[in-house]
Amino acid sequence: MRSDKVKKGVQRAPHRSLFRACGINDEDFKKPFIGIANSFTDVVPGHIHLRDLVEYVKEGIRAAGGIPFEFNTMAICDGIAMNHEGMKYSLPSREIVAATVESMVKGHSFDGLVLMPSCDKVVPGMLMAAGRLDIPTIALTGGAMVPGKFKGKNADLITVYEAVGEFSSGKITEEELDELERVACPGAGSCSGLFTANSMACLTETLGMSLPTCGTTLALDPNKKELAKATGKRIVEMVEEDLIPSKIMTQEAFENAIALDMALGGSSNTALHIPAIAYEFSDKGVDVTLSLFDEISQKVPHIALLSPAGEDTILDLHNAGGVQAVLKDIEPKINKDCLTCLGTTVGENIKDVVVKNEEVIHPMDNPVHGVGGLAILKGNIAPNGSIVKSGAVPEDLMHIKGPAKVYNSEEEGVEAIFGHKVNDGDILIIRCEGPIGGPGMREMLNPTSAIVGMGLNNVGLITDGRFSGGTRGPCIGHVSPEAMDNGPIGLLKDGDIIEIDINNRTLNAELSEEEFKQRSKDVELPKKEVKGWLDIYRKNVTSADKGAIMR
């Protein structure tokens, strides 16, 4: 066993002495040591139940003959970090999560690993670590919260953000906003729509790294505890089988994940996280680019209209059959031979699956949209690419053109929106918010929600930052190269005519190449002073089209 490095032989007497201090006895030393990376914290709703759930994982591990060792990683709540300096730390935290798991496993020579992530950056961070370590690993994603209810309709965090804009424009009262605030997030779990956390949970299941139904089983559903026990038992079996991540997360598995992403219309942040995870398997021949996203988007239709694009929630998706039912629906578009953590193939797992509600999971011959729910745009503003959650863009806004209003920070852009300086027909440019420029590539949920809430129905937003998975409308993110990496977005000026053409996958300014060259000679952009971890991150991070990973 891998753990023999720390428990066998005379030379390991000091190591065993320390393990004995933790309660390990002679019989335990004969068993596989299983690490559990738990991202429990009191401050993130998606993680507050993980302290209880982990006990069921341990129960499963012990029942199967293993010894569990729990350790913790960090988790940032994007909703709480939003719209202030804290959001600069959100995406970089993914790298810390990956490094923490890698360090703990290497430092203690575990035989197998259970991942317990829930929210946005923790899921990909842990899967990145799984790729680096390549020891038997299985994930138990934390699950979504029950949707809130407000005036008879589903409500969630995005509803509250958009309501702030509604209040600012006099559409609702402060009392109504207060009432909504109190019911939108009713308890434990990641926010109830198909935002980044739940998108990544669904993709984890599709990749084969969590048990079937795990991605959509709600946080407080009693079945989550049964999944936790089963996950604990299964990891011990995976150790015996030496079923490692590189046998599961293959090129074909990543392509399946992107196909599901397109079918569901997942968060635009998946275009950061899937390439970042795939990079950890590049030595195994895995290569995931934005071009691959676009290629698969053209082949796989958008078949589910989940919040923020529609009214349905993760609970509705789960009741309709969940991830496995979506895979069954798009069966002709995926590779069924991919191995999963069960030791069975995708094809074997979905053989007897049926879609339980075709109003939630549409048949492929009656899709919501004929192409995937994410689109990659390129042009003279984004030569290396950008992304939009096209499945959440109204048909009449798929092609818009208008004058630019340019701001060098999220704060400036938000002030302009709430100050009624942005009008219908404008194209809002928020730059210097990329991985380097931010630094940290902040999400722009506040400006996008304000635009929707204030009733600005014909406004585009383009940024080298990124968006919440709850964003809807013609909001183009991840513009690459970013402004602070000599990207053309840094050369735009107020009044430039910008054209967003999502159907034709283009993003352009009506400027000649000569004009861009001329402007590049005297461009001045603000460099934001930071210190500590963010300074380290800024010096080592790659561009968004490369997954914003550190190299």
Catalytic residue among 90, 468, 480, 543: 468
Q: Under a CB-based contact definition with an 8 Å cutoff, are residues 117 and 203 in contact?
A: no
Amino acid identity at 171 = K
Specify the DSSP class assigned to residue 156.
Answer: -
DSSP string for 99-123 = HHHHHHHHHHT-SEEEEE--STTHH
Specify the DSSP class assigned to residue 356.
Answer: S
* Unique residue bearing structure tokens 């209209």: 305
Please tell me the distance from the alpha carbon of residue 443 to that of residue 452, in angstroms, as a whole number.
16
**Alpha-carbon separation of residue 377 from 84, 293, 388, 486, 517 (angstroms):** 28, 11, 8, 19, 22
Three-state secondary structure call for residue 439 = coil
- On the CB side of 445, CA atoms within 13 Å amount to 26
Please tell me the distance from the alpha carbon of residue 470 to that of residue 314, in angstroms, as a whole number.
13
Please tell me the distance from the alpha carbon of residue 501 to that of residue 380, in angstroms, as a whole number.
13
Please tell me the distance from the alpha carbon of residue 279 to that of residue 541, in angstroms, as a whole number.
14
**Alpha-carbon separation of residue 225 from 43, 54, 253, 301, 320 (angstroms):** 22, 9, 27, 34, 21
Q: Under a CB-based contact definition with an 8 Å cutoff, are residues 328 and 358 in contact?
A: no
Neighbours of 333 (CB within 10 A): 18
Three-state secondary structure call for residue 404 = strand
Pairing verdict, β 137-139 and 112-116: parallel
Residue 221 tokens, joined: 């559903």
Give the helix/strand (H/E) hosting 16: helix 13-21
193: left (phi over 0), alpha (psi -120 to 50) or beta: beta
Asked if 169 is an active-site residue, the reply is no
150 — phi, psi (to 5°)? Answer: -145, 120
User: Which residues have a Cβ under 8 Å from the Cβ of 427 and sit 6 or more positions away?
Assistant: 400, 401, 402, 403, 404, 405, 459, 460, 461, 462, 498, 500
User: Which residues have a Cβ under 8 Å from the Cβ of 395 and sit 6 or more positions away?
Assistant: none
Neighbours of 2 (CB within 10 A): 17
Q: Under a CB-based contact definition with an 8 Å cutoff, are residues 65 and 239 in contact?
A: no
Please tell me the distance from the alpha carbon of residue 12 to that of residue 15, in angstroms, as a whole number.
5
Q: Which residues are catalytic?
A: 468
